[in-house]
Structure 1
Amino acid sequence: WNQAFEAAGFQDAYRVEMMPEGADPMDVRYNVIQWVHRGTRGWSYGSSVRDPRTGEIIKGHVSLGSLRVRQDYMIAEAILAPYMAGQEVPEEMLEFALARLRQLSAHEVGHTLGLSHNYIASTNNRASVMDYPHPYIQLKEDGTFDLSEAYDVNIGEWDKVAITFGYAEYPEGTDEKAAGEQVLLDALADGIRFISDQDARPQGGAHAYAHLRDSGESPTAELNRVMEVRQKALEQFGQNNIPEGTPLAMMEQTLVPLYLFHRYQVEAAVKLLGGFDYNYAVRGDGQSALTPVSAADQQAALEALLATLKPEHLAVPESILDQLPPMPLAFGRNRESFKGRTSVMFDPLVAAENGATATL
C-alpha cells in the first residue's frame, strides 16, 4: 500500500513491522494483521475501529484464515501434477500459494483503509486489489502450465486513485472538494472504473463486466481460455497429482477444484446474456449511463456457455475413473468431495451434474 500512498504524495507513510514483544493484538494503538487457523474454511476479514463522532479510522485489524492457502495449493496440485517419482515438488507450488496470500493481505488491508470492493477491476488490467481474483494460469505452447502471473504483485491504479481521493493533503487555501472531484474525473478519463458488491454478487445482477473471481477483458474469451486449461489438466490427471504414499482414492479431492475450475468464469459469461454495461454516473461527469450488451457479444457468450455442456466437457475421463477406488479405512468423503448416489464408489454422473448446474 505504500505504492498508493506515494502516489498520493506521501513518503514512507505506510509500512509493516513485526508486532512488539508483549503487545496485545486488541490494543487500539496497533494496526494488526493476525493469522487465524481454523478447522474449516472461512472468510478473511479487514475491519476497523472508528471514532463514532467523526468516522475517523483509529485502528485497522485484519484476520487472515490459514485454510485459504490450502485451496490454492490444491489447485496447483490439480494443474501441475507435480509429484513425479524421484523428483522434488516444484517450488512454484509454494510461490503460487504465497502469491495468493500476499494479494489477500493487501485486499483486507484495503478494507481497513476504508476501501470497498471493486469488482470490475479484473476487466481493466487488474486495476485493484479490492477485486476477488481468479488465478490466471496460462497454458504454454509445449502443453505445460505457467503460474508466474497467477496473482498480481502490485497495488492497482484504482487503489491509488482511492487513496489519493481519501487521504491526499493539499496546500492551505485549496478547494479540497474540487480537488477530490478532479482526482475522480482524471481517473475516469484514464478508463479506471468502479463497480461494487450490489452489482456483482447477486445471481440476478445485470452488470455484464462486474463479477467475482473472474479474469480478462472479455468474459467469453476468458471462459474459452479457461476451458482449454481445464481440459489439458484433466487429460494429464492421475497419480502424479497426489504425493507418494497417499491413498489413490484421495485423487478425488484433488479432482474437484480442477473439474470445477471454470465455474466462476461461467458466472461471468452468463451475465452477458441480457446484460448491460453501466456506470455510477453523476450528472456532469461525462460517463455513459447504460449500454446493453450487443447481440453479437451475447451470441458468442451463449455459444461458449453451451460448449461447457457438451458431453466431452462433462464426462470424467475414463483414465481418471479407472484409478479411483473407494476410500480406505480411516478416510472418507467430506465437504470437499462430490456427493454421490453410488455408495462407496465415485459417482461420475454427480460430477457431471455439478458441472452442468454451474452453467444452468
Structure 2
Amino acid sequence: MTDIIVIGAGPAGLMAAEVAATQGLSVIIADAMPSVGRKFLMAGKSGLNLTKDEPSEPYLAAFGPLPDSLRATLAAFGPAQVMDWAETLGQTLFTGSTGRVFPKAMKASPLLRAWLARLNALGVTLHTRWRWAGWQGDALLFQTPDGPQVITATAVVLALGGGSWARLGSDGTWTQYLPEVVTPFAPANMGFVVDWSVHMTGHFGAPVKAVELSAGRLTTRGECIISARGIEGGGVYALSRAMREGAPLVMDLAPDRTLAQVSAALARPRGKTSLTNHLRKVLRLDPVRLALLAEFGMPYPADLAPLIKALPIRHAGPRPLDEAISTAGGVRLDALDDDLMLHQRPGVFCAGEMLDWEAPTGGYLISACLATGRRAGLAAAEYVAKR
C-alpha cells in the first residue's frame, strides 16, 4: 500500500504530490494521458500567465462568492507565494503592465521540466496512460497499457480537471464515479455564437479595440475578437459568467466620450458626407466598430448617440463546452470539508478545476489550481500521519 495516490497530473495534482512527498510520504501520480500537464503546456503557448500580482482583496474578489474555507485556501497560496514557488524552480519572472505575471521564458515547458525533476528527486512515482476507472471496494481501479491495475492507498487526491479540452485530458468522464456530489459542467471563459450577416466576413479575425463591454453589473475595457463563429477574447471572457446566466452584452463604441459629447459630435453639419464617413470623422470610429454598429443597429434610429453608447450585441449563447478555456460545475463545495475532503469518502481529497468554482482568465485559474492542490496535498499528508 502506498501512502498517497494523486490522480491527475495538471498543476493541482503535481502540487499536491509535491507537498505530500515533501512530508516524507510515498506518493504515486497517475494520469490518463501519454504525458503530463498537457493543458498547462497549451496555456503557455501564448505566454504562461502564472498569476496576477495584486493585493489579496481584489485577487480573492475576482473569484466571486466562495466559502470562507476556500477563500482561506486561496489566500494561503496567493500571488506572492506562487511567484516565490516558481522562482525556486529556477524561473525568472516579470510582471506586465496589467499585473499579469509570466516567466521570462514565457513557455510552460521549462517550469514543467524543473517541476518533474523535483518530484523525481522526492521519490514520486509517475504513471502515464493510467486512466482511473472508479472504485473496487476501497481500492482504485485503473485501465493501463498492461491491463487493469488495482491500487490501495491510505489517502487519495483527485485532481481530474474540468470538462473542456478533452483532447488534452480534461474530458470530465470522471463524474460518473462521483455522481452524487457533482454539479453538471458549464463553459467558462468562452466565446459566444453570433450568426453574422455576409457584410461582416471581411472583419473575421479582427480585434475590436477602444470599446467598453458590459454585462449585468460587470464592465470591462478589454479587447475582443470577431471570428467566423462569433465573438471571443479577453473582454468577452471577463463577462462570460454573467452572459451565460442571461445578462445581455452591451458595447460602448465611444467609451471616452459622454452621451452628450457623442450627441454634439453627431450634430455637426455633414453636408454631402455619408453617415458612415461622418461617424468616422467626428467620432473616429474605425471600420470594425462601424461594421458592428451597422450589424446590430440597422435600421438606425433618429437619435443615434444612445445606440453608439450602448450597442446590444445579439448572440446565440456560449460556444460548446469543449471549446471553453475552463469550466464551471464539478464537485460541489458543500460535499467537501474545510480540507477539501469528500464527506462521503474519508481520505479522498479533491483539488483544481474539478471543483465547482469559477476563475477568470489572467492568472487566477492556474493560481487557484496550485493553491487547492497544495491544500489537498497537505491535508492528505495530515490524514496519513494520523493513521
For the aligned pair, the TM-score class normalised by the smaller chain equals under 0.3
The structure showing larger relative contact order (alpha-carbon pairs under 8 Å, at least 6 residues apart) is: 2
| Structure showing the higher strand proportion among its residues | 2
- TM superposition score normalised by structure 2: 0.24
Max Rg structure:
2
